Chain A
Amino acid sequence: MPTTSPALEIDGLIKDFGPVGSLDGRMVRVLDGVSLSASHGAVTVLLGANGAGKTTTLECAQGLQRANGGVVRLLGEDPYRATPQLRARVGVMLQDGGLPPSVRPLALLRHVASMYSAPLPVDALAERLGLDEFGAASIRRLSGGQKQRLALACALVGRPEVVFLDEPSAGLDPQSRSIVFDLIRELRADGLAVILTTHLLDDAQKLADYVYIIEGGSTVAEGTVAELTADKDADGMRELHFETVPGLTLPPDLLPHLHQREHDPGHYVLRGPLTAGDVARLAEWWHASGVMPTAITMAPRSLEDVFLDISGRSIR
């Protein structure tokens, strides 16, 4: 991919909120050293659990919050002092949408379009995102997925070079999800820098060219999905599912180095650096317990494993 200067560069970003009354008026450090960079023609994903600091990072990058420390450069400029010309080159889709409930969708889209000198044709954009189907209702009557598509249209109508999408797949039905994902890939193909947050590993795995994992207000890992999930172990297997009769309890001390979870009664998921010895111990236990599993599957390391290794907890 062509790499000129990055569309967004963040270095050592610090953001404090407060003073917080419940903490005797102390400040809370929400971001403590977030560093990332996003290129044109790429989808950069900020992945993290709820409350990790993804939205705050985006808000600092969009100029909605002023950083307390570190450097934020959006298209080479300070977003907090953005000129209208800089804002015209950047599209924003907020997590809560920012849509006025009493307005009709196309009226809002036309109004946003009027802030630009050469916006996209509103009717064609509305058709592309399926907004024309519900254009006559007021925004408060729209479903979550319809609101998301409208917010996306509002972010794109000004022909931005950089788009920020905060949890773009939140509340999307499968149809909306495929419309939105196709469009995101198309934007990337057209050379836009797409920066999105998600707590859904599946989204990240499907869309991301480059992933930053954010945890506790800082970037704790980064790389392509392939780089992040690459395993040092020879066999590379990191996940084992097996199904047995409900009611059979896996002894916690059998494989203590693996993360164990009973997904459904009798359906266990084991995660961690899996060896042939581990599989043998499991088989011995099945044999000793007199059970034969109905299904066994193994999978290589996923983004979820990466997240688990780093944070020690599941992202969900």
Chain B
Amino acid sequence: MTTGAATPSQGMPGVPVPAATGGTAASLPTRVLRHGGYEALAMLRNGEQLVLAIVLPLLALTALVITPLLDAYGPSRIDIAAPGVLALCTMSTAFTGQGIATGFDRRYGVLRFLSTTPLGRSGLILGKAVAVAVVLAVQLVVIGGAAALLGWSPRVEGILPAAVLLLVGSAAFTALGLLVAGTLRPEATLAVTNLVWILLAAAGGVIIPATSLPVAAEPFISVLPSAALGDGLRGALVDGILDPVACLVLLAWAALASLAAIRWFKWS
């Protein structure tokens, strides 16, 4: 037996070691909010993520206001542009940003370690949803503020429907981001989420309404989550209506992607 080497803890004054009484978990809301805040801060401190979340949407907003690209869709360029850019922000944060962060956390074993703490797997996922919501709120303030300076006047009765669509839309894109991050290698996740972001931004009905894309492609594009969110937000903030089809399309994507992520997500 080699028990003789035990050092009594009293021999180290002022230095704590755990007593065998056992730890206790912080409450569920505390754990989830703390983790959400921690991940949101990590996203906002990351230079590449900030470019994706704030700089690119601001550039898109400016470009859409100074070029005649959206002139066919209404009298005010900024009123058409702003909802599309908010949809773009949702994709940046929930899908690309959060997908890449999760992919690398998975590679480094961070997901495995945190799931052994009281946070657990469900707390980790809920925390990620909170982080997406926090970053999205920052984006709404910055992009919404910039749009307001450019003369944006959204319909007041459309704000509640827009909030509903943003909520469902970010749930759908978060689940899709997790699905990619949990099934592919992080380098592949980086490539896929960026590529999909660019393709959807360009031709997924996010900024340019789905109806203006080639007629043959329209049925396919209008069932994309990007088009549902972009067109839905334009319907809400330009016309003041809640588009039920857009809402259902987003709900279906959120449900399908969540089920797929639960089925195929690998933690290690």
Contact = CB atoms under 8 A, between A and B. Distances in A.
A156 B30 CA distance: 20
Interface in A169-221: 182-183, 185-192, 205-209
Contact of B18 (A94, A96, A98, A120): A120
A191 B8 CA distance: 11
B109 A96 contact: yes
A87 B15 contact: no
A111 B35 CA distance: 8
B46 to A, nearest CB: 7
Given A87-B117, A158-B118, A191 B20 contact: yes
A92 B2 contact: no
B17 interface: yes
Contact-residue size bin, chain B (C-beta under 8 Å from the other chain):
35 or more
A116 B25 contact: yes
Interface string B233-268: 000000000000000000000000000000000011
B123 A128 contact: no
Contacts of A119: 23
Nearest to A160: B23
A102 interface: yes
A28 interface: no
B26 interface: yes
Interface string B159-173: 000000000000000
Contacts of B123: 84
B211 to A, nearest CB: 42
Interface in A199-248: 205-209, 224-226
A113 to B, nearest CB: 9
Contacts of A116: 23-26, 118
B32 to A, nearest CB: 10
A117 B24 contact: yes
A112 B6 contact: no
Interface in B1-34: 1-3, 5-9, 12, 14-28, 30-31, 34
Nearest to A129: B15
A100 B108 contact: yes
B28 to A, nearest CB: 7
A154 B7 CA distance: 22
B113 A190 contact: no
B3 A118 contact: no
Contacts of A205: 2
Contact of A84 (B19, B22, B25, B114): B25
A156 to B, nearest CB: 6
Nearest to B45: A102
A121 interface: yes
Interface string A78-103: 00001011011111101011111111
A169 to B, nearest CB: 15
B116 interface: yes
Contacts of A92: 113, 116-117
A133 interface: no
B119 interface: yes
Contact of B24 (A88, A125, A187): A88
Contacts of A121: 16
B119 to A, nearest CB: 5
Contact of A114 (B15, B26, B116): B26
A267 interface: no
A192 B18 contact: yes
B196 to A, nearest CB: 24
B116 A63 contact: yes
Contact of B25 (A85, A97, A188): A85
A208 B1 CA distance: 8
A158 B123 CA distance: 17
Contact of B112 (A64, A91, A127): A64
24 contacts: A1-B3, A64-B112, A64-B115, A84-B118, A84-B120, A87-B118, A89-B23, A91-B23, A98-B111, A99-B113, A100-B110, A101-B108, A115-B26, A116-B24, A116-B118, A158-B23, A161-B18, A161-B20, A186-B6, A186-B12, A206-B2, A208-B2, A209-B1, A225-B2
Given A187-B17, A206-B5, 9 more contacts: A62-B116, A64-B267, A84-B120, A87-B116, A91-B18, A98-B112, A115-B117, A115-B118, A185-B7
